[in-house]
Amino acid sequence: MTRVRVTAPRSVNAGAARAGTVNAGSIPPDSTALAGGRSAAAAREAAEESDAGQLFIRSLIRSQLRLGLVVALGFLLILLAFPLLLGLVPGLAESTIAGLPFDWVLLGAGIYPVIGLSAWLYVRTAARNEARYRDLAGEQ
């Protein structure tokens, strides 16, 4: 049995695309065909190879990177605010809730909603960025 390393999805052979045929296994049979025998995947690849397509892809990558950095920085700022809150408010670190120290309750139970909210905002905004890319690139 031979080991095979898959590094990228198969693409349409340029000569076969011009002739209206594709390599077996390169594009799923349920793809919608476009005019001239080209599939939706082949049209997307051609759009990505153009100057405008490259610009759209770079813009998407930059917006996703910016989003990731903003969410991570916001999360870190909130996480760092907890010790500041405990240090600046007198007596807060010594108080207890149901026999547990307040700082443990704050970090143990208070951080999970922040993590969930950060994740939800990230996924929602990343999906919006990708939808904008698809609109700009003309994909359906």
- Give me the chain's average pLDDT, please: 76
pLDDT at 66: 95
Q: Which residues, 6 or more positions from 106, have their beta carbon under 8 angstroms from its beta carbon?
A: 82, 85, 86
Domain boundaries, the chain: 1-38, 50-137
pLDDT at 47: 61
- Is the confidence at residue 137, as pLDDT, over 80? no
**Cα angle 68, 71, 77; round to 5:** 135
Concatenated DSSP letters for 76-91? HHHHHHHHHHHHHSTT
Per-residue pLDDT reduced to its tens digit, 11-66:
555 444 445 544 444 444 444 444 444 555 555 665 667 777 788 888 889 999 99
Top pLDDT among 69 and 51 is at 69
Contact 45, 11 (CB under 8 A): yes
Q: Which residues, 6 or more positions from 108, have their beta carbon under 8 angstroms from its beta carbon?
A: none
CA distance 9 to 23: 12
Give the sign of the dihedral formed by CA 69, CA 140, CA 35, CA 25. Answer: positive
**Cα angle 114, 103, 117; round to 5:** 5
